[in-house]
Structure 1
């Protein structure tokens, strides 16, 4: 009996060690859910709902992983927004370096589908890197860059993306675009078009106001917006080396 008990104890210990190692993160990284579970997550590169049309290499789970300082500052932004019945919604956080290489291969595969063109209706995908919309070496891989938007918690956000439907491109009116469960920023997420530039004037006043509110809320915690993408922010000084560890499921 004692031998059986020892075996059971050993198995439990092994299970705990395996579970811990499966979710261990290097270099001061954390799961954002452990910092602030109220922040909405829709990690698009872990799904087929993105410009590549499939999960990217390294995205084994739809979890936002960031450097701890970044997570704490996002929590502060969220606390401010909560008083306004708003929430952050994360589209991408830490990005394994292999995912950026996956994007490079995608851009060079020699064809573009109609679904892909929804994201870059006016620019050939072979030009996206040269024009600065996608980087070979992404700041996301340092854990200090983020893609995000705002959600109005009082609005009806129930509409979901349906892969069987044909949607208009990312610059079309919001009712024609793929639903994102967020406020109307004038374009969809990852829209590689001039209308996706943060300060563009060819969107309506309400859309410009939403962009300004997002930029201002993030700036109060030190985040800097990338001018060609209203959704992209980074925290200067919080990055460092690029990483390539895969994103794995978070365990409680």
Structure 2
């Protein structure tokens, strides 16, 4: 009887541990990789390759986490793009609230470096909060906002960042700025410049066409673009409360 009870307790412990693993994300959130593993991910805030120059608070893994409905709609976008030899590439998805506060602190730290200027060629970092480029509260923290671009699967996307090279700022021609392995949208990701506005008149016809193609593909699944950032989209009605749970490695 005692051994049966011991076994039962052990089984309950195993079940509890398994349940804890299965519930590592709050209800309604999923890893996008579990919805569609074909969508390319380059979660920049989990790396030093971003405007802050280091991983942001709360980014313990380079994984795209979203609300389930958002993930399913992204899968539908990806299926449409696949017929055109294109893919989505995710730069940011759910963002812990602590990461937004980390951005604000960075903007107010009183230091301006050459690396900062790659992303903010004309706007002092102290002005980014006032102008709406960063915020203490972000839609990303609800799991319903995304930063993304398009990848031409027929192109050579193998270029990687060379730490010994001095790159031009995010508004420079694509060959001179940091490589992103994606189509040329006219600026790099997170470029706080008028050229990064979705309808910017200063970009080329080809760059404008790529932006329109991305906006149209996302709009067909209900996503809305933010006019000051060609890469930023949200799904109205899918948000809700902001969260601050850290992004952890996905369990297989």
TM-score (norm 1): 0.93
Shift of 1:218: 0.2
Shift of 1:193: 0.1
Shift of 1:17: 1.4
- 1:26 — aligned with what? 26
- 1:217 — aligned with what? 217
Shift of 1:21: 3.0
CA distance in 2, matches of 1:147, 1:61: 17
Structure 1's 200 and 191: CA in aligned 2 closer, same or farther, altered over 3 A?
same
1:146–1:234: 8 Å Cα contact kept in structure 2?
yes
- 1:145 — aligned with what? 145
Matches within 5 A, 1:1-252: 10=10, 14=14, 17=17, 20-21=20-21, 24-252=24-252
Structure 1's 206 and 16: CA in aligned 2 closer, same or farther, altered over 3 A?
farther
CA distance in 2, matches of 1:196, 1:66: 24
Shift of 1:165: 2.3
How many residues get paired?
248
CA RMSD of aligned residues (A): 2.0
Q: Secondary structure at the match of 2:119?
A: coil
CA distance in 2, matches of 1:207, 1:10: 60
1:48–1:55: 8 Å Cα contact kept in structure 2?
yes
Unaligned runs of 5+ in 2: none
Q: Which moved more, 1:124-133 or 1:10-19?
A: 10-19
Shift of 1:13: 5.6
Q: Secondary structure at the match of 1:118?
A: helix
